[in-house]
Amino acid sequence: MNLTYKTAVAVGLWWFALVSQAAVPAGGLPDFAALVDSNGPAVVNISTTQSIKRSGFPGLDAPDAPDAPGGKGFDELLRRYFGEEGAPQYFDSKSLGSGFIISADGYILTCAHVVENAKEIIVKLTDRREFVAKLIGSDRRSDVAVLKIDAKALPTVAIGDPDRLKVGDWVLAIGSPFGFESSATAGIVSAKGRSLPRENYVPFIQTDVAINPGNSGGPLFNLKGEVVGINSQIYSRTGGFMGLSFAVPINMAMQIGKQLQDGGRVKRGWLGVLIQDVTRELAESFDMKKPHGALISDVLADGPAAKTGLKAGDVVIEFAGQRIDASADLPPLVGQTAPGTPAKLVLLRGGQPKSFTVTIEQLPEENVAGRTREPAGGEKKGQLGLALSDLGPQQRKQHGVEEGVLVERVGEGPAQRAGIRPGDVIQQVDGKPVKNVAGFRQLIAAAPKDRSIPVLVRRGSGALFLALKIAD
C-alpha cells in the first residue's frame, strides 16, 4: 500500500467521523427512558361511568338506522299499533382518560371532558391500586378538572413554566391512549398561544406528540421532567392522531385548579367587547401601517369597556403591559385577570394611540339568544351591488339596534367582495353612523375611492368590521 493511498484513506475516515459527529446534537438525544421512569408513577388512568338515557321501546335501539328497530320510523310504527312507549331506559357508558397527581394527599388534575356527567370516577395508579375519586370541580371553558382520592404519600409531578418553552423544544406525553396504560409518546412544540374555536380563553400549546383518545387529561413534560401542559385536544378528520395536538398551559391549569379547590368554580375577567382580527384591508382602512392588535367590533352595554369609553373601531394593541399582536392574544389575558383589577389598555383610535384604565369585571354566564331576520321592502341595487331597506321599529328591536340599514340582497360588486351578506345591518361607514338608506348613500358618495374603508355590520348576535373598497 503506497503513501498516497494511505493518506487518502486516512482523510476519508477523518471526514466520515467529522460528518457523523455533526449529524448528532452536541448534547445527544433526550433520555426519555429516565424521564418516564421518574415521572410515570405520578400519571394515573381514569375510567368513568356515565348514565345514558335510551329512548324508544325496550330492547329496540338502533339509532344509526332510522327505519330499523329503535329508529324513529320504526318507533312511530310501534306507537301506532301498541300505543305510547313506556318509561325511558338508562344504561351505563364507560370512558377512559388520564390524569396526574399534583399533591401527595391525592389531588389530581385532568380534563373536564374526561369526567363530564360521570356518576362514578375510578382512578388507577401504576402500582395497580384503584380508588373511587371525588370530583372537586370542573371548568368547561378551559377543559380543566380537579379530582381527589383518599390516599397519602403519593408520587407527584414537578410543575414547570410553559412560558419558557420554545417552538422546536422536545416534549413528552404519558397517558392511556385507547386504554393502553402508561404509554409514552414524544415530539416537539409546534406552536404556542394557539386559539381554537369556542376556546378563546386558553392559549394552547400545539405539539406533534401522538395523542389519541384516552390521552386526554395526561401531562405534557419538558426535558427537565416538569409538567408544562395538560393534553386536551387533537385536530383530526379520522378520530385518530394526525400530527396536531393541543395542551392547556400548566400555569393556567394550576391557577384554575386552585380556584376549583377553594370555591368549586372559576372567576374570569371580562372586558365586555366583541373583537376580530385586523386584516391587511382593515389596517389600510384604519390608517394603520401594518395589521396587528384586536379590533373592537362591538362594545356591550353596561360592560367595563362601555363604562371606560371604549368604542367600536378601537384597536387594542396592549393590555396590562402585554403586547397584542392578534385578536386571539387578548381573551386569555383578560380572562386571567382577577375581577375588580384595574388594567391599562393602549389602543389606536383614528390611527393615534390612546391609553385607558379599565376595571375588569367578572365574566357573566353565557346567555346569547340567536336572532332571525324578517323580510322588508327592498331598495334597488346601487353601485355596490346592494339592495337595502330602512329598519322599522320591529326590526330595530329584533336586531338590537337603534339605527342602521338592512341588507336585503347582495349582488356581484364591491359589497360582495367585502363579505357583506343578506340580513346584515350596516351601522357605520368609515366611522360615521348610518341612520337610513339615504344617509348611507351620502356616506358612500363622500367616501374615498380606490381605498378600503371600514364598514361596521351587525350579524346575528354579534358585530364585525368589513373592509369595503369602492372603485373609482
Q: Which residues are catalytic?
A: 113, 143, 216
Q: Are 370 and 348 in contact (CB under 8 A)?
A: no
Provide the H-helix boundaries in 59-151: 72-82, 112-115
Q: How far apart are CA 13 and CA 11, in angstroms?
A: 6
Q: How far apart are CA 414 and CA 407, in angstroms?
A: 14
Enclosing H/E stretch for 331 = helix 330-335
Q: Which three cell numbers stand for residue 226?
A: 416538569
Render 337-389 in DSSP notation, one character per residue.
Answer: SPTT-EEEEEEEETTEEEEEEEE-EEPPPP----------------TTSEEEE
Q: Are 407 and 424 in contact (CB under 8 A)?
A: yes
> Residue 451 in 3-state DSSP?
coil
Question: Residue 114, CB half-sphere, CA atoms under 13 Å: how many?
Answer: 39
Q: Classify residue 178 by its DSSP letter.
A: G
Q: Which residues on neighbouring strands pair with residue 54, listed in sequence order? A: 89
Render 5-54 in DSSP notation, one character per residue.
Answer: HHHHHHHHHHHHHHHHHHHS-TT-S--HHHHHHHHGGGEEEEEEEEEEEE
Q: How far apart are CA 393 and CA 94, in angstroms?
A: 53
- Using alpha carbons, list the distances in angstroms from residue 378 to 74, 372, 410, 422, 440: 47, 17, 11, 11, 15
